Homo-oligomer: A and B are copies of this chain.
Amino acid sequence: MNNFTYYNPTKIEFGKEKENNIGEYLEQSGIKKVLLVYGGGSIKKNGLYDKIIISLNKNNIAFEELSGVVSNPLLSKVNEGIEIAKNTNIEAILGVGGGSVADSAKAIAVGAKYDGDVWDFFINKATISEALPVFTVMTLSATASEMNGNSVVMNDITKQKYSIASVLVNPVVSVINPELMATVSPEYLAYSAVDVISHCIEVYFTASVHPNFNSRIVESIIKTVMQTTEILIENPNDYDARAEFAWAAIQGLNGLTPAGTGGGSFPNHMIEHSLSALFNVPHGAGLAVVIPAWMKWYKVQNIPQFKRFSKEIFNSEDENVGIEKLENWFSKIGAPVTLKEVNIPRESIEELAINANELANLWGFGALYPTGSIIEILEKA
């Protein structure tokens, strides 16, 4: 086991009706004014917006609003939020929505305390030393953004989908009410499941060391996500399945699974971010395309762990069966598994490979793989 630091100070308030206490949680942290960040307005239709406002008012918390955050959240919107935060004495950012909203809230929290361009942090030109506190009320589970310090944002001009990471933007409190997630479309449920599985297997397969304990935790998360996704496809209102999905998703990227493994790399994410950035493919859909292809290409580098995966998840001794069955499972739940299904032409593969390597370079992995290898992977997709 490698040395590690584990530190995750986010408080999770999990369960039914917890969103009604958000004003109280803010008040307990001494917050008097927030910037309320959300997406396209579905929270206004389903009543969540009203609940939040009632709770803010009850606790005398003033607020400004920023709506219109989209999936693959945009830097331009983040900059809009930073302006509001700077000009209206915002003390905390409250994101109400899915991963994109949480990620935007974090980027705004960092930018609000910085005189320069917030994109500096994404391209390693500046280091995060300060941020407004972040709070979230989640309406979608997948990214674990509700319990980590990561934020992924897309620069609408340069088409780079890059990220920052700092415990300073770990949400202070995140509210997870699985009931709020019951209206997620089957499509996005599938993408979410793929996203959670991707977080788990990136490190599971690429880490320097593979402690049994970490592998068992990862397998527990994957089994839970697969089991609950199947239940939710049949019955979107199964609260317990939704809850287990949500909690397992959080454990998938809150620092627990990589602790002691040496960390591993994130090749599928880096390749996928290029798909999202260049073709605006939803993150989970892009991952479903990349993962099976990458697994087929990568498996020779870690046969024992691929054998373990096959055995533990699909009860087969053959390392190829695990890959094949995972790909079939992605298809079965409605996720695309080929570039064709997401309308990316073969001719774009080289451009995607180059973009992915630029990202890898920024994330400090040097070139992810030779561009030729990424092309090889994407050819398999």
Contact = CB atoms under 8 A, between A and B. Distances in A.
Query: Which of A14, A227, A251 neighbours the largest number of chain B CB atoms within 10 Å of its CB?
Result: A14
B14 A260 contact: yes
A240 B208 CA distance: 13
Given A1-B244, A224-B213, A244-B213, A14 B18 contact: no
Contacts of A301: none
Interface in A3-30: 3-16, 18
A300 to B, nearest CB: 25
Contact of A212 (B4, B216, B224): B224
Interface string A107-149: 0000000000000000000000000000000000000000000
A49 interface: no
Interface string A222-235: 01100100000000
B211 A216 contact: no
Contact of A3 (B11, B18, B248): B18
Contacts of A18: 3
A243 B6 CA distance: 14
Interface in A237-261: 239-240, 243-244, 247-248, 251, 256, 259-260
A14 B240 contact: no
A170 to B, nearest CB: 10
A1 B239 contact: yes
A243 B212 CA distance: 11
25 contacts: A1-B239, A1-B240, A1-B243, A1-B244, A1-B247, A2-B15, A3-B14, A4-B15, A5-B11, A5-B12, A5-B13, A5-B14, A6-B11, A7-B11, A211-B243, A211-B247, A212-B244, A216-B223, A216-B224, A217-B217, A220-B220, A243-B260, A244-B260, A247-B259, A251-B256
